[in-house]
Structure 1
Amino acid sequence: MLIPSVASLAIFVLSWWVWRTLKWVWFKPKMLESYLRRQGLVGTRYTPLVGDVRRSFSMLKEASSKPTKLTDDHISLLMPYSLQMLNTYGPVPVITIMNPYLIKEVCNKVYDFPKTHPSPLFALITDGLATSDGDKWAKHRKIIHPAFHFEKIKNMVPAFYKSCSELVCEWDKLVSSKGSSCEVDVWPWLVKLTGDVISRTAFGSSYKEGQRIFTLQMELAHLIIQALGKN
C-alpha cells in the first residue's frame, strides 16, 4: 500500500509542477496577450521566455555592422527595435519617460509601477536594484543608499581622479608611439575605467587586481547574449 501512495504523491507533485511551469511560461502570457489585443493594443506575438530579445539583438547586430557617420540618425543605430515598434504601433502600448524627476518617482513607487522582468538568463547578471520589486527593492535600496551619500561621493573624487589620470597617461603613451594620426577605440578603455573606479571606491583595490572577476563577468554576459540569440 505504501508504494502506490508514494507513486500517487509523486505523480501529483509532478503534475502540479508541470502545470505551474506551463502557466508561467505559456498560459498566463497568452492570456495577457489576448486581453491586450482585445483592447486594441497590437504588437509582436509572444515568444516563450525570451520575448522580443532575440528580435532586438538581431536588429542591433545588423545596425552595428553598418558604417556610420556623425550625421546619421543614431537612434536607429542604438535602438533599432524600439524605433521600429514606435513607428509601427505608435506610442500607445508603451510610455517612455525622459523627465528625470518622473523617472525617480516611478522608480520609488515600486508597489504601483512593477518592473518588467528580464529573461531568466539575464537574471544571472542583472538581479539587483534595477530589476527588483516591492520588499526586495526596498531592502536593496536600504543597503546601498548610504554608499551614495553626498559626503561619501565627495570622498571618492580622489579615486575618480587617479583612475582618469592613469587612463589619460595610457592614451598619451599610445598616441606618442603611433603618431598624431592614431585612432583609439575608446570603448574598451571606458569599460576598464568603470571597473577601476568601482574597484577603488568599493573594494579599495585597482582594476588590475580584480581584473579576473570583471573578465569573467564580461564572458558570462557574452555567453548569455549568445544563448538568447540562438533561442
Structure 2
Amino acid sequence: MVGLQERKRALAMGIDYEGPTRATLSGQRFKCVFWGLAAVCAGLVLFLLKIARAIWWKPLQVKRAFEAQGIKGPPYRLFYGNSADISTMIDEQRAKPMPLSHDILPRVLPHYHQWTKTYGQDFIFWFGPHARLVVPHPELIKEILSTKFGNYPRFADDPLSKQLFGQGLAGLTGEKWTRHRKIINPAFHMDLLKGMIPTIVKSCASMLEVWSKLITSGSPEIDVQKEFRDLTSHVIARTAFGSSFAEGKHIFDLQGKQMILALESFRTVYIPGFRFLPTTKNRQRWNVEKEIRRSLRQVIDAREKTDGMKKTGRYGVDLLGFMMSQSKDQMGVNGRSNGGLSTEEIIDECKTFYFAGHETTSLLLTWSIILLGIHQDWQEKGRREALQVCGKNNYPDADNLSRLKIVGMIINEALRLYPPAVFLSRHASEQTKLGKLSIPAGTQFMLPILEIHHDPSLWGSDAKDFNPGRFSEGIAKAAKHPMAFMPFGAGPTICVGQNLALLEAKLVLAMILQKFSFVTSPSYTHAPSLFITLKPEYGAQVIFRMD
C-alpha cells in the first residue's frame, strides 16, 4: 500500500518511479534475518545464563554461606556434584568382604563415614547442584521432623525414581498429604489390626509347615530373606487389599523390577527430559509402570463388584476398603469429589503400601533371625518366653501378644542395628534458621538414622553390639535422647503402617521360636547393603532344626 501511494505521488510530480531497488529489498531481508538471529541468540544466552546460575553460581553462593559458618565438605563438581564419588565408594566397599560385625556404617554409607572423618560431624556434600547438609543431632532432627509449619518438607524425587511409590503418602507433601493421611489412618487403628491376626497366623503356619517338611527331608538350610518376602507379600495382599496370593505376587514381582530400575536413578543425577527418551531402560520403566497400574486397577474393579459391596454399599474394612469407602462418602453433587481419593490416587497409595507394607516387615524379620542365629543366648531367652506365654502348640493371639516382652525387645534391637531406611531426607522450603545455622532456601538435609542408632554417646559403649536388654524398660529409657530411635521416622510423617509391621513381626518371630531352633549357616555372607532399603546382599541362609 505504501509503495502504491509513493508511485502515485511520483507520477503526479512527473517523476518516473521504479519502486524499491533490489538492494533495498535485500537490505530489508537482511535486517529481518539479523533481528531473528539476534532474538534466538539472546534467548540462548539467557538459557545458558540460567543453567550457569543453577549449576555454578547458586552452588557457589550456598557453599560460601556454609563455609562462613564453619561448615565444609567435599569439593563441588560441576553438574554432578559428588554423586560419582559416592557411587565409586559404595562399589569399592561392596567388593570387599566384611567380618560378622554389626558395625555396618562404613559398608552401607561409606561416603558418610569417610567424610565425617575428614570434615567432622557437620558437613555438606553435593548431589547434582544441590547441597545436602548432614544433620546428625537428635534435637535438630526433632525440629525438622516435628515442625507443623511445612518448613522442612520432603524434597521431590526425580521423575524416574518417583515411579516406585507414585504419588502416595511416601512422596506427598502439604494439603494432599494431609488429605491422604486422614483417609488412610483409620485402616491402621490397633483394634482393626488385631482383627488381622488370624490371617497373619494362618499364612505363617503354612510357611512353617513347609519348613518342617524341608527339615525332615534333610534340607534344613533356608534362605529366610526369600521366605519372609513371600510371607509378607501374601499378608499385605490379603489384609490390606483382599487380593489373592497370585495377584499380590504378580504385583510384588513387578515392583521388584521397578525397584531395580529406580535404584539406578537414585545413584545418578537426573537430566530433565531424559525420562521421555525411548531408551531401553525407559521403555522397561514405562512397561512395568503400565502393567502395575493395570493390575491394581483390576483389584479395585473387582472390589467394586463384590457381593458385600452391592448389599451394604461398603467396600470392606481393609486399607483398600477404607480408601474406596471414604472416596464414595465424600463424593459431592454432580459426582465430584469433596475430599476423597480418585481411582488414580488410590492406585498410587496401593503402590506405596504394596511395596513398603511388605518390604519393612520382611527385612525386620530377616535381620531378627540372622541376629538370633548369631546370638544363641538371646534366641534361647526368646524361645523360653514364647513357650511360656503361648505354649508349644497354641499360636499367639491378641490377648497374649502384649506379654511377649523379650520378643519385642529383640525386634527393637534388630530395628536399631539394621533399620530398613538408613537415612531420611528433607529440604528447607525457604531461608530459615536451624539451631545456630542460617540455612539457604533449597538446602537438602540428610538425617542419618543408621549413624544415630549406632552412636555410643546416645546408646553407650556397647552401641554396636546386639543387646536387646537395653529396651527392657521400654523405648523411652533405652537411649539418652527420645529421637535416638526412629526406625519408622518421627513426627507427623511417621510411618502410618508401623503398628502393622511390628504386630506382624512379633507374631511371626514368636511362632518360629515356638517351633524351631536355628543357627546362621556357614554359607551366609554378612554383606548389609543399601538397595533403597537395608538388605543382606547375598541372602540370609539359616540352618533350622525342630525342637
Distance 1:23 1:92 in 2: 26
One-letter code aligned to 1:146: P
Partner in structure 2 of residue 89 of structure 1: 119
Closer, same or farther: CA 135–55 of 1 in aligned 2, 3 Å: farther
Q: Which residue of 76, 93, 96 maps to 1:63?
A: 93
196-205 or 128-137: bigger deviation: 128-137
Closer, same or farther: CA 89–151 of 1 in aligned 2, 3 Å: same
Q: Does 1:197 align with 2:235?
A: yes
- TM-score normalised per structure 2: 0.34
76-85 or 199-208: bigger deviation: 76-85
Query: Structure 1 residue 222: deviation in Å?
Result: 0.5
One-letter code aligned to 2:240: A
Query: Is the 2:203–2:231 Cα contact (8 Å) retained in structure 1?
Result: yes
Q: Which residue of 208, 211, 220 maps to 2:258?
A: 220
Closer, same or farther: CA 136–192 of 1 in aligned 2, 3 Å: same
Q: Deviations over 1:4-43 (max 9, x none)?
A: xxx9xxx799999888777666654554334223333212
% identical aligned pairs: 32
One-letter code aligned to 1:79: L
Partner in structure 2 of residue 38 of structure 1: 68
Partner in structure 2 of residue 151 of structure 1: 191
Query: Is the 2:105–2:113 Cα contact (8 Å) retained in structure 1?
Result: yes
Q: Which has the higher contact order (CA 8 A, sep 6+)?
A: 2
Query: Structure 1 residue 111: deviation in Å?
Result: 0.9
Partner in structure 2 of residue 4 of structure 1: none
Structure 2 gaps, min length 5 = 1-35, 124-133, 270-547
Distance 1:152 1:59 in 2: 45
Distance 2:135 2:118 in 1: 15
- How is 1:95-174 mapped onto 2 (pairs within 5 angstroms)? 95-96=135-136, 106-107=145-146, 109=148, 111-126=150-165, 127-174=167-214
> How many residue pairs align between the two structures?
221
Partner in structure 2 of residue 211 of structure 1: 249
Query: Structure 1 residue 150: deviation in Å?
Result: 1.4
SS of aligned partner of 1:217: helix
Query: Is the 2:122–2:136 Cα contact (8 Å) retained in structure 1?
Result: no
Higher strand fraction (1 or 2): 2
- How is 1:17-32 mapped onto 2 (pairs within 5 angstroms)? 28-32=58-62
71-80 or 143-152: bigger deviation: 71-80
Higher helix fraction (1 or 2): 1
SS of aligned partner of 2:250: helix
Distance 1:225 1:142 in 2: 30
Query: Is the 1:110–1:133 Cα contact (8 Å) retained in structure 2?
Result: no
Partner in structure 2 of residue 175 of structure 1: 215
Query: Structure 1 residue 120: deviation in Å?
Result: 3.6
Structure 1 gaps, min length 5 = 1-6
Q: Deviations over 1:158-191 (max 9, x none)?
A: 22222322332333333344434x2x32222222
Distance 2:81 2:210 in 1: 42
SS of aligned partner of 1:87: helix
Closer, same or farther: CA 73–109 of 1 in aligned 2, 3 Å: same
Query: Structure 1 residue 199: deviation in Å?
Result: 0.6
The structure with the larger Rg is 2
Q: Which residue of 94, 106, 109 maps to 1:79?
A: 109
Distance 2:75 2:215 in 1: 50
One-letter code aligned to 2:154: K
